[in-house]
Chain A
Amino acid sequence: MSRFEESAPARGGFSFDLCKRNEMLMQKGLKPSSYLKTGTTIVGLVFQDGVILGADTRATEGPIVADKNCEKIHYMAPNIYCCGAGTAADTEAVTDMVSSQLKLHRFHTGRESRVVTALTLLKSHLFSYQGHVSAALVLGGVDVTGPHLHTIYPHGSTDTLPFATMGSGSLAAMAIFESKYREGLTRDEGVKLVAEAICSGIFNDLGSGSNVDVCVITKGKREYLRNYMLPNPRTYVSEKGYSFSKKTEVLLTKITPLRELVEVIEGGDAMEE
C-alpha cells in the first residue's frame, strides 16, 4: 500500500512528504527551532511624506558585544531599505539576495521596484526555510503606490503597519511609539520619535546599545543618516595611558638557509661534454 502512495504523481499545493521524516527526527531527539528574541532594537514608522527606519548598532554574541557599531539598516533598492534583527548572517544574506533579485527585476520590467515585491520575495524565502533562517525584518520604502511599512517574521508571516518595532528591544521602543505616534507627522517630528524609540531600546534593553542609525525615505529621495545620534561615548580614558611590555624573552636566534645559492655563469662551456 505504501509503495503505491509513493509512486502517485504530485497533486500540487503543499507537500507533506517531509512531515513523517520530521516526526522521526523529533522522536530521535531533534528539537524544533524556537523563535529567538534577539539583541537588537529596530523600528519603522510612516510619516506624511514617506517612511523613517531606525536601528541601534550593537551586535552581541551572547553576553559579549561583538561589534559596537554595526549597520543594521540594509539597502534593498534606491527607494526601499530593510532593518534586520536576528542572526546577522541570515539578515545580511537574505537582504543581499532579495536586493539582487530586485535589481534584475528592475532591468526586466524597466520600472522602479515596489515594496510589496520585496515583501513577497522575502516572505516566501523565509517560509520555505520554516523559520531556520532566523531573520526578523522591518521593511520600508516609497514607490508609485505610496509609502509602505511591513514587518516580516522568521517563519514567513508579515504585517502591514503604520509603525513597527522588532528585536529584543521592541517592547521598550513600542512603548514610546504607542504613547507618542500619531498620523501625519512631519519629517523632523518623525525622526525625533524614531530616535527616541531607539534610545529607549538602547538604554532599557541589554541586547541593544551604542548608536542610533536613521534612514528617511521619501518620494524620489532617501537620506541614510548613519550614526545620527551617539549617546554613548567612552566613559573613562586614562590620561597616562598603558604600556604593554613584551613578555617574550629571546633565548636563541638561529638562521637556517633554506637552499644554497646557485650562481649562474654566463657563456660558459658547462653543457658540453
Chain B
Amino acid sequence: MEFAELIKTPRVDGVVLHRPFMPIVEGTLCLTGHHLILSSRQDNTEELWLLHSNIDSIEKRFVGSLGSIIVKCKDLRVIQLDIPGMEECLNIASSIETLSTLDSVSLMYPFFYRPMFEVIEDGWNSFLPQDAFKDLESMTDEWRLSEVNKDFTVCPSYPPLVAVPKDVDDDTLRKVATFRHGGRFPVLSYYHKKNGMVMMRAGQPLTGTNGRRCKEDEKLINATLRPGKRGYIIDTRTISVAQQAKARGGGFESEANYPQWRRIHKAIERSNVLQESLIKLVEACNDQSHNMDRWLSKLEASSWQTNVKEILTTACLAAQCIDREGASVLVHGTEGADSTLQVTSLAQIILDPACRTIKGFQGLVEREWLQAGHPFQQRCAQSAYSNTKPRQEAPVFLLFLDCVWQILRQFPCSFEFSESFLVLLFEHAYASQFGTFLGNSAAERAKLSLPEKTVSLWSWVNRPQELERLTNPLYEANSLVIWPSVAPQSLLLWEGVFLRWNRSSKCLDEAYEEMVHIIEYNKELQNKVNTLRRQLAQLETEDPLLHTP
C-alpha cells in the first residue's frame, strides 16, 4: 500500500493517552493509512480510533526523551499522547501531519471503508431531485424540472436537474447563467404550500460598474410573481459590500430594472471572516481562566454569536416575506453557495414542518447544501485549530447547524431529531468514513463516482438503531410555522459543540435519560390502560350482567 512509505514507525508500545473526561490509558499506538489507533490490549473499550482526516493540527513537546503529541481534532477535541523515545515521537508526528493533510480526495478513507452494517436503504438514492419534484408537482404545475445543466456546463456547481418556472425555456436559462455569478441562475429553493409563494436562490447578478442588464434574468424571476404582486430580493450582503462587488464584475438588482422587486440588504459575514470567528470562539472556550470579564469580552470579540444572530435574522426575514407578506423571495449573496444557503435552508426549517423531521432534515441538507453546491471539501478542510492560513475554509455549515440548534432549543418539541443529530452532521462534514460530504459539487461527486465507491452517511443513519438514538423524545408533530426569537438573550452558546470537551456532560446526560424515561413510562402506561379498556369493553359485550351497576 502506498501509505506504507508515509508511516516510518507503524507501532509504538507504552504510549499514554490523555483524553478529556476519560481515564488515562496506556497501550500500543498503531498508525494505519487512515487511522491513529491506541489500544490497551486488555479491554477493547479502552481503544481510540481516530481518523487522520479528523486531525486539525498537532503540537510536539519534549521532556527528556519522553515526547508528547497534542492532537487537536476538527471536532474540537484535544487529546495528548505521551510517546517514549524521541525518534518514535518525531516519526509518529510527521506521519500524522502528512496523513491528515493528504490532498487527493481519492485517497480519503470513504474510498476504503467497507460498511460493517446491513444497508437497508441506499442513502445515495434517498433524496433524488426527481423524487422531490414529484412532491412539488402534486402542489403546483407552475414549475418544471430542467435538464439544462445535465452535463454541468451551464453551471458547474449546480446539480443536473433544477426546478425553474415552467414558462422559462432552457435557452433563456443559458443566457441568465451568463449573467449570474458562477452561472448560478435563479432556481427554486422552496415552495410554500400554504399560499403558493416561493423562495429562489441564485448567485449575484453580474451588473458590473456600468450596470449591465439581462432581460432574460428579469423575465425569469418576474415569472414567479403573481399579477400585481411584488417580490423581495434578499441580498445577504450590506449595501456597501454589494456596491464594492460591482468593481469586480458583480453587483445587485437595480430598482430600475427590477421594479417589481424590493431589495433588502442584510449583513451576513463572508466565509473568510467566519473562519476567524470560529478560531477566536474556540480559543475563548478553551481558556480555563476564571475571569468572567475576560470570558465575556472574548466571546464578544469572536463575533460568533453575532453571526448566529445575523443569519437567523435574515432567515426569519425571508420566512416572513413568504408567510406573512405573501410575497415570493429571491435570496443571494456573492457566489450564492454560502450565506445564501444558510438563509434558504433555515427559512425552510421555520416554515416547513417536514424539514423538522429526521428524514426531512436529511433531505434539506441534501437539497440545499450538497446538491446546491456548497463547497464542503474546501470549507471543511480545516477547523478551529488549524495553524495554516485559511484559504477556502469557513464554518458556514457549522453556523447553519448552530442556528438550527438555536431554533431547536426554543422549540424543543417541534423537531423529530435531537441535538445529537446536529452534532453528528458537524462531525461528518469535517471527517467521515462516509462519502456524503466529499467533493464540492454534484459534478465533482459524479466524477469521483461517490455513489458507487463510497457509502452514504444516510445509509448508516437511516437504520432503526441509529434513528432511535437521534430521535427527540419530546417530539410532537407541529404543523405550524415556528418563529424563533433572535434577541441576543435568546441565543445561547452551543455548549454541545463548543464546550463538549471542556465540561462534563454527565448531569445533562442523566437529565436527558430521565426525560426519556418519563416519556417511555407514560407510553407504557397508556398501552396498559388501552389494553384494559379494550378488555373491559369486550367483557361488557360478552357479559351483559356487568352493565347493571
Are A and B bound to each other?
Answer: no
